[in-house]
Amino acid sequence: MIVQTDWFSILPFLIAIPIAIKTKQVLPGLFAGLLAGSFLLQPTLAGGLETLIRFLVKGLIDENNIKIILFLYAFSGLVGMIKISGGIRGFVEEASVRIQNKRQALLLTYLSTVGTFSAPSFRFVTIAPIMRALLKKVKMSTQELGFVIETTATPIIVLIPIATAFVGYMTSIVDIAVSNENINADPYDLFLRSIPFNFFSFVMILLGIYLSFFHHSKSTQDSNPEKIGKSGDDEDDWHTCDPAVGRDLPEKPWNLLVPLALVVVLTLIFTWWDGYKKAGGFAAAFIKADVMDAMLIALVFTVLFTFLFFRFQKTKTSDLLNSFVIGGNDLMSVIVLLAVVWGLSSVTEALGFSAFVTRYSSWIPPSIVVPLLFLFGAAISYFIGSAWGTWGILMPLGISMAAASGIYLPLVIGAVFASGTFGAFASPLSDDTNTIARILNLSVIEYARYKLKPALIAAGITAVLYAGTVFFF
């Protein structure tokens, strides 16, 4: 095998990023980078393909990576069962009847994060239909409404350290990068310590609160009044905005609340117990615990309990199993993305990526590394529309530059996560933008254009904060 320690090591990234931007899909770019790196290591047809497969398999058979895959699939499967049982529709029906004015509706949007923080798409299908049903009472333009809902989704969820669809992936990305640098640190602990440095999320949350409670719009109409008329004249239109709230489903809000409460409570209990066995004491237990193990055990228990809970309600076994599999399959694209990211990280490390960054990054002043990293990542995430893809591409570079320049690791990790969050929020290609636009019956391009200005303002503030913070760590 040929091992390089020169500029060849960055070729996979130089190939992956332009292809991802050109195709507007992150997976082709990452796979092309992995393929290129494999052939650089073994420049023959059979050798290159064999190397590619070996790196993919290496990532997939890793014990921690298998746990992450199981967690993602089971979590999405649980959501599938909740949908088919009428949990989401029941919650939406109850809320739309009880909410009477704009303030109540906005308070519900923020408070409901406590129970629906597991994934952005989950937030959208529980909250957006409620707000669409109450559009006349809320008296906000639909674009403003979408903006407020989105600020309570990805920007908040990336800050929550347990029981989300993001935690396993984010921890895995950190783990890959620090392992490549031979840094002896717990990846989950680094993720926890990076949360205060995800400045973009905090700025967007504050903007959302301002727009919700303190900003008075001059007009409550969108740029396309005809669309608003169609979505606002009939408040029952929201039943058709997503299959999870369709009229053919039962109305059982407890089918949403019980499983979500159970998985959160059990995660905390199992996390404490795992750490208590290792360290004793209350605070020390949470520090020493294997959180990924605890989350997976809590999730498996919740899935089994939820299955029996729904069967007790006479939901057919075949319907539950099908909904679990269909729900789990919804995240297969993410699981495939993870496998390619793991492979790409391994192949670039075999090419000597860390050594290359260490050797040639010294000409960049450490004081501007973090803001530049954030702005570069924000640009990538905007053009590919994927926070997860951006994190996979940028985290190895960020950790390598931090190690070479002596920059505080949690600060760099927070900046990388912030850069991906920008794209998930602002990009017209992101799942968040497209899901909200579909549910609220908005033009994707017009809605993305509407929220780009505040997102850019937040990005500018974030870059300034990084430029100042680097001097204190």
How many whole angstroms separate alpha carbon 435 and alpha carbon 450? 16
Show the DSSP H helices in 385-443 as ranges: 387-405, 409-426, 431-439
Q: What is the pLDDT of residues 330-373, one digit of tens each?
A: 878 878 887 888 888 788 878 877 677 766 666 777 788 899 99
* CA nearest to 186, candidates 352, 410, 366: 410
pLDDT of residue 136: 66
Tokens representing 70 are 């199981």
- Neighbouring residues of 207: CB distance < 8 A, sequence distance ≥ 6: 151, 454, 457, 458
Q: Which two tokens stand for residue 411?
A: 């600060």
Q: How far apart are CA 246 and CA 92, in angstroms?
A: 11
Give whole-number Cα distances, 64 to 332, 394, 472, in Å.
Answer: 18, 21, 34
Q: What is the per-residue burial (b if ≥16 Cβ within 10 Å, else e) of 239-256?
A: bebbebbeeebeebbbbb
47-61: burial string, b at 16+ Cβ within 10 Å, e else: ebeebbeebbeebee
CA–CA separation, 301 vs 94, rounded Å? Answer: 28
Digit-by-digit pLDDT tens for the chain (473 residues) are 444 446 777 888 888 888 887 877 778 888 998 999 899 888 888 888 999 999 888 888 888 788 888 888 898 899 889 989 988 888 888 877 777 777 777 787 777 776 666 677 777 777 777 777 776 666 777 888 888 888 888 898 888 887 677 887 888 888 888 887 888 888 888 998 999 999 999 999 998 888 777 766 554 444 444 344 344 444 445 667 677 777 788 888 899 889 988 988 888 888 888 887 777 666 667 667 777 788 889 899 999 999 999 999 999 999 999 999 998 888 788 788 878 888 887 888 788 776 777 666 667 777 888 999 999 889 988 888 888 888 888 888 889 888 888 889 999 999 999 999 998 898 888 888 888 888 888 888 888 889 998 999 999 999 999 998 878 87
Calculate the alpha carbon distances from 99 to 92, 104, 241, 252, 270 in Å: 10, 6, 20, 18, 36
> In this predicted structure, what is the pLDDT of residue 13?
80
**Single-letter amino acid code for the residue at 407:** I
> In terms of Cα–Cα distance, which of 397, 421, 363 is closest to 17?
397
Q: Side chain identity at 285, as an amino acid letter?
A: A
pTM here is 0.78
pLDDT of residue 311: 94
Distance, CA of 426 to chain centre? 14
Distances (CA, A) of 233 to 12, 133, 135, 149, 416: 52, 10, 9, 21, 43
Which pLDDT score is estimated for 3? 46
CA-to-CA distance for 358 and 393, rounded, in angstroms?
A: 18
Q: Are 27 and 333 in contact (CB under 8 A)?
A: yes
d(Cα 152, Cα 155) in Å, to the nearest integer? 7
